[in-house]
Amino acid sequence: MNCQTFRQGCCGCCVNMRWSPERIASFLTANTRVANRLLPTDKPPRHRDLVRLHLARGGLLDLLLACWLVPLTLGLSAWLWKRFCGSCRFAGFINLDGQRVGCLIHPLRLVSQTDLRRHAFPLIPTLNCDRSLICPMLEQHCIPPDAGWLEASRAGAASLKQRRQKIKK
């Protein structure tokens, strides 16, 4: 099972769902545009292609934060960044009409036999992406089929938040 089980996809754990719908859509559009420009379509992307994409979308700030600010603030800066700003630069629209969201470097999307996400996620140290994460929404199949990508993504983010709260108790 994965996030792409749903017709509209999901980016609930990849993008900051506290943002306005316009900001989320703009962020995903910009990521998609840069990915379409930088990632090869006829062969699997190389590690340096992923680095170029990450840096082109402002990933240098993530790296600076992780290397410089996190130790100085004992991790508080990473928590603040993740809470208010942090979003994955590899999330975007995975179809031409902009109605389906997901991972732009997912092996099912690219011409690749290997999962390149293992090379990409260390570039995003403040987000702590977990490829093995199974969203409770996937287990429950609770999203209506006519829901849009934003509604599905917000429902996915909410289900993850509920799961974390249950684990803490």
The full DSSP string for 18-84 is TS-HHHHHHHHHHHHHHHHHHS-SSSPPPHHHHHHHHHHTTHHHHHHIIIIIHHHTTTHHHHHHHHH
Rounded CA-CA distance 29/68 in Å is 29
What per-residue confidence (pLDDT) applies to 156?
80
What pLDDT was estimated at residue 69? Answer: 63
**The predicted structure's pLDDT at residue 26:** 94
Q: Would you state the structure tokens that stand for residue 68, as one six-digit string? A: 């410089």
Largest CA distance in the chain: 49
Each of the 169 residues of the chain gets a pLDDT tens digit; together they read: 456 666 788 888 888 888 999 999 999 999 999 999 998 877 878 888 888 888 888 877 766 666 666 566 666 656 666 666 678 888 899 887 778 898 888 776 766 666 776 666 666 655 555 555 666 666 666 677 778 888 888 888 887 776 666 666 5
Residue pointed to by tokens 């490829």: 131
